[in-house]
């Protein structure tokens, strides 16, 4: 796994924390995320993303779990953006090449066919999106989102120990 630093604006982080209080998750449309994502990545992300926050007002960690549509591989792949707030100092970046259960799924061919033919991506059900639009940290299902969060924490810790 690889941590790729990506700067986040403090105002954007504050907006994100207002969207998703600590110790909760929120499912939202990708256009609602206050963070400017790289255009190529933004275009690959399916319409829904999962935001997860943990910690307290002094030290908190947020994850924006982007779900990339990898058409050539016929897969949906999780690509977390992790943001650490340490007393107002932000460290953030993407986690690439992760390895946790449920990180990559391969929907039936009908998933991609329906998207390409009708443009209904935002309405098509995706197995990786939680059934509830928001809830408590421990209630987040599928488990792959929490696993992405914990793996991201480990990656960041390893990067700062060096």
**Burial tier of 72 (Cβ tally within 10 Å: 0-12, 13-18, 19+):** exposed
At residue 162, the pLDDT reads 45
Q: Is the pLDDT of residue 159 over 70?
A: no
pLDDT band at 102 (very low <50, low <70, confident <90, very high): confident
At residue 73, the pLDDT reads 82
- Averaged pLDDT, 12-20: 96
- Helical (H) or strand (E) element with 149: helix 144-161
pLDDT band at 94 (very low <50, low <70, confident <90, very high): very high
Global pTM?
A: 0.86
- Averaged pLDDT, 28-40: 93
**Each residue's pLDDT tens digit, 129-139:** 787 889 998 88
At residue 19, the pLDDT reads 96
At residue 157, the pLDDT reads 76
pLDDT band at 123 (very low <50, low <70, confident <90, very high): very low
């Amino acid at each position: 796994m690889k941590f790729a630093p990506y700067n986040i604006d403090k105002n954007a982080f504050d907006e994100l924390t207002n969207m998703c209080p600590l110790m909760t998750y929120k499912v939202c449309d990708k256009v609602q995320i206050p963070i400017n994502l790289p255009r190529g990545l933004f275009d690959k992300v399916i319409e829904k993303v999962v935001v997860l926050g943990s910690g307290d007002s002094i030290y908190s960690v947020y994850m924006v779990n982007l779900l990339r549509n990898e058409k050539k591989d016929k897969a949906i792949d999780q690509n977390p953006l992790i943001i650490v707030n340490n007393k107002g100092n932000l460290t953030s970046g993407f986690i690439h090449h992760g390895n946790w259960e449920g990180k990559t799924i391969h929907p039936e061919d009908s998933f991609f066919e329906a998207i390409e033919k009708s443009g209904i991506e935002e309405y098509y059900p995706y197995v990786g999106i939680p059934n509830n639009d928001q809830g408590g940290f421990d209630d987040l299902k599928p488990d792959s989102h929490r696993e992405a969060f914990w793996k991201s924490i480990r990656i960041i810790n390893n990067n700062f120990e060096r």
